Amino acid sequence: MISTHQNFFENFIQSCAELEPLLTAVVHPVRATDIEVAAKAAKARLIEPIFIGPKARVDAAAQEAEIDISQWSFIDVEYSHAGAAKGAELAGKGEVGAIMKGGIHTDEVLHAIIVTRALMTERRISHAYLMDIPTYHKPIVITDAAVNIVPDLEVKADILQNAINMWRAIFGCDKVPKAAILAAVETINPKMQATLDAAALCKMMERGQLTDAIVDGPLAFDNAISKEAALAKGITSVVAGDPDILLAPNLESCNIMSKQLTFLGNARAAGIILGAKVPVILTSRADSETTRLMSCALALKVAHARRCGFFK
């Protein structure tokens, strides 16, 4: 099946025009690409950047990018971990609505968020991609490819709820997403923890411990994504062949799956970190300009949804 959602990223970015730009702490923007992303997102009225980093290095990056950053606020800090701490501090005080990662390790940003208690919510932090895959019939959320390495059932429940909340922020609260819980097989096997976790997550949704989605699993990737494959296995499911969300068993499988879709399937993937009181924007130097802007647009929509009380 060929995609019918051409230009979804572009249209989604344009749909953010009705919202006020998101005041964003851009942490350790010491590469020209960091300055370029922030400047282009500001021009698109997705964010209003506050640059946080060592002044000499940030100025050098801006000079390399040939961008005048004097129009935006700047906070001079000496080291990357101090920049992450300052960004988290501002977010914890409600002085910024998002954090954008610059030339700094993701772990440093996550550590700063976790130790800033004012930023934490009842859920674990997790990462989610919104992927636009040419051979799939609609955009899909894939999680968690970057934060939780080997999540247990409790963590998977938070990862799933974070992904559901992100989907609702994107597509609205009047629709119910379908979530497929992936494993290597579609049957419950006591020797395969992923299948047990999948079954438990389905029951948790049924009992109201998770909300706002239709969940099925365990489902192998083929029968999660293909109705024909599911029918061949005798699986009757409203999720099979039509999921809006894919929850992978662990970080490695999700990371590999996401990169396969990107580099072999020509998918576009925009990612953010969820679960804290503000979204964290992650971009890659390998991303296209549209994909980078899409990550900023996702953060804007998620922050807006939280402010409006769509989810906690």
Q: Where in the chain is the domain with CATH 3.40.50.10950?
A: 1-121+276-312
> Could you say which residues of the chain have pLDDT below 70?
1-6, 312
Determine whether domain 1-121+276-312 maps to CATH 3.30.360.10. Answer: no
Q: Domain 130-273 - what CATH class?
A: alpha beta
Tell me which DSSP letter residue 276 carries.
Answer: B
pLDDT given at position 275: 96
Q: Where in the chain is the domain with CATH 3.40.718.10?
A: 130-273
In 3D space, the residue among 148, 186, 179, 146 whose CA is nearest the CA of residue 165 turns out to be: 179
pLDDT given at position 185: 96
pLDDT given at position 311: 73
pLDDT given at position 1: 40
DSSP H or E segment with residue 297: helix 289-307
SS (H, E, C) 28-66: CCCCHHHHHHHHHHHHCCCEEEEEEECHHHHHHHHHHHC
**130-148: pLDDT as tens digits:** 999 999 999 999 999 999 9
